[in-house]
Copies of this chain bind each other. A is one copy, B any other.
């Protein structure tokens, strides 16, 4: 029932940095005693009017161990994913396309005001107001907190493909380990419902409406909204075709306000694919990429763009200040509340056009997002990583210290090996585009690209996921005293020295390395 503003609560989370932790639940007994991992494709597909949603079975043993559910939505041109919320936090990666998304934070103000009245036929003038609308583009990570209503829309020609990880063992979820979608509209089954029965539980009773309004009696809704029966029927999705589904086509497209000068830039989106392979070589492309990113970041401030272009130096100054003290903006008249959760950054680009964290032009690149980059992740307890590897380049054996990792291949294919605590190979195979592999916490993993460009996104179940490398400079082996290495591995000191120092690379090993060795 009614209560304090959640917004207040959230803002405190951010102010105190670490106030509101979502920790994770452990799997049940034996759920992580996996003999064999598999690179899995989605096993179910639900078509909608405007696209489709594919899901991986969350009861699969490797997802049960990791405590997550994976799904992939495809939105055609002018398609709207209808608003819904989840009982667990979600991290969404935009594999392809551009568009708009929105979230509704209870208690936050409606800060977007339509410039003109949206309808003039009637006597009174109506000016629509709503909460912030955001732009997303390929390579973005979008963070959706538990219970927060989320929608997205594709205004471009390229289909949008969005891969979503739901962390069902997050302590933000007080229900059981079944991923649930609560749709605000429609008359279609929520995408994970079909797995409920398999999970051993009894399926929740037959549904007649499928959205959260359909279960209320008409009179309740008529009173609550003060509208007529016709509108209530629509609300409850009564006379609606079930085939419309979770993603609907919008005839003529949505008209959503957004700061000017934007539309032009997003037309570029679909051109990215063909020139990706050589993008490290082409410096100008990179600059464009990072400028694009910067520009998008500025959108967060929602000031008219034309003002922006005036003084670039001033811009830089502002940027710096903002970097160190987000949430302490000096603009007068704003209260602390609006400056915190209500304006929190909800997306970050980690795609190929972002500035990488680990980069070796001969091997590949890696970009991560943690709660240090995107503070809202502190609340979700999730992070992510985007990587790409050149042909035959490898990333060295390593393990996740404090997280499970769900690797989803975006492009190309690679050979991966995963080893458990008993030294057994639980995976030795190919991971190809569109498949997902779970690497449980502390399991050792290594990979070598089989394609000219293998790229992936890895979702991690900790907002500050860390890894320990087992080979190369600054690796675990490297950090042990030489004598300990020699005694541990039963090696001569000069052999131990080789083990410690022969590989001069930190994480990404170029193909040459192995070729050199072979020819040596």
Contact = CB atoms under 8 A, between A and B. Distances in A.
B396 A173 contact: no
Interface string A66-106: 11000000000000101101010000000000000010101
A16 interface: yes
Interface in A320-368: 357-358, 366, 368
Chain A interface, >50% SS class: loop
9 contacts: A29-B176, A30-B176, A106-B469, A184-B477, A205-B424, A214-B423, A216-B446, A226-B503, A231-B499
B235 A6 contact: no
Nearest to A33: B201
Give how many copies assemble into the complex.
3
A435 interface: no
Contacts of A85: 442, 468
B173 A204 contact: no
Interface in A419-449: 419-426, 428, 440-442, 444-448
Interface residues of A, number: 207
Contact of A6 (B2, B17, B255, B464): B464
A259 interface: no
Interface string A12-36: 1000111111011111111111111
A210 B256 contact: no
Given A147-B401, A205-B35, A483 B256 contact: yes
A114 B448 CA distance: 35
Given A65-B176, A210-B423, A481-B256, A517 B226 contact: yes
Interface stretch (A270-278, A303-311, A507-515): A507-515
B223 A517 contact: yes
Interface string A235-275: 10100100010001010001111000000000000000000
A26 B25 contact: yes
A291 interface: no
A168 to B, nearest CB: 9
Nearest to A396: B224
Contacts of A183: 423
Contacts of A147: 399-402, 441-442, 468
A491 B234 contact: yes
A175 B423 contact: no
Contact of A385 (B3, B240, B495): B3
A33 B484 CA distance: 46
Q: Considering residues A202, A395, A421, which has the most beta carbons from chain B within 10 angstroms of its beta carbon?
A: A421
Contacts of A390: none
Interface string A286-316: 0000000000000000000000000000000
A234 B107 contact: no
Instruction: For the complex of A and B, list the 6 residue pairs with the smallest distance between their C-beta atoms, beginning with the closest.
Output: A6-B466, A215-B419, A30-B201, A9-B464, A147-B401, A214-B423
